[in-house]
Structure 1
């Protein structure tokens, strides 16, 4: 007489993954909708017109210096009180990013003396890649 031994099947306890893509997609949509991308508008600057205007390929390695008609200077959301502080700020940014391009957005009513001072401080900080922002001239 043969004895039948039944093996008890082990219950496999696992995490159900059937609805995981739905959950991931819902989380993705939630974060896309709830994230606010803020672009700094800078000072109120009325840019000069230019005949030949080229757009920068990327804004990844760009730091912007804003100068309004009252000669207030702001670099990437940081107000510059003394013009000599600009050299230190730009030098530290250049140490972090060797490909940094300085974009100057200067109001057309700003004093030319402040522009010359900014150029001197950028030269002392060894920031030689400079871009001048302008709007296209209407023909």
Structure 2
């Protein structure tokens, strides 16, 4: 007689689901941390011009001004004339200074004095609108201006 007997069934044991909630919550936490939410709801058409010499910009020091015609879903309400957007709302030339101060206050305190103004201007926008924006920026002594473009060459075929 032998002391040890072999199992004759050969069935696999049931899978333990005790650690399943831990794995689910770990995945949930991972996706919550790495997901980037959109900052602004774009109200203007923003087809950027192309440039062949482009540098990467640190987003923590910039205040963005969007300029262009209202996008197609907003043209019934706001028309087809060029508009200025700062944050999530349209602004006029007279209110750019106030809107920029509000956007600048949202930056980190140590970066508020070193702010860049980033212009994201649609390639079909009237240059008079851009000149008006630049004039207001000069009056507010915001002289560090960056034009945002997409990489490429518009002159090529």
User: Residue 88 of structure 2 aligns with which residue?
Assistant: 77
Question: Based on CA coordinates, which of the two structures has the bigger radius of gyration?
Answer: 1
Q: Secondary structure of 1:64's match?
A: strand
The secondary structure found in structure 2 opposite 1:38 is: coil
The count of aligned residue pairs is: 115
Q: Which residue of 2 aligns with 1:47?
A: 48
Match of 1:112 in 2: 127
1:32 alignment counterpart = 30
Q: TM-score, normalising length from structure 2?
A: 0.61
With structure 1 as the length reference, what TM-score do the two structures score?
Answer: 0.68
The runs of 5 or more residues in structure 2 that have no matched partner are: 1-21, 70-80
The answer to whether the 8 Å contact 2:117/2:145 transfers is yes
Q: Is the 8 A contact 2:41 2:88 kept in 1?
A: no
- Matches of 2:64 and 2:25 in 1, distance apart? 34
Q: CA RMSD in A?
A: 2.5
The answer to whether structure 1 residue 59 and structure 2 residue 59 are counterparts is yes
Helix, strand or coil at the partner of 2:63: strand
CA distance in 2, matches of 1:67, 1:32: 36
1:93: how far off?
4.0
Q: How far is 1:32 from its partner?
A: 3.4
- Find the aligned partners of 2:30 and 2:90 in 1 and give their Cα distance: 31
1:106-136 Cα deviation digits (max 9, x unpaired)? 0111111100000011111211111001112
Residues 74-130 of structure 1: per-residue CA shift (max 9 Å, x gap): 1122321x2110012223444651121111010111111100000011111211111
3-state SS, counterpart of residue 98 of structure 1: helix
Aligned partner of 1:8 in structure 2 is: none
What is residue 130 of structure 1 aligned with on the other side?
A: 145
Alpha-carbon distance between aligned partners in 1 of 2:53 and 2:127, rounded to the nearest angstrom: 22
CA contact (8 A) 1:102 1:131 kept: yes
Q: Counterparts of 2:97 and 2:27 in 1: how far apart (Å)?
A: 43
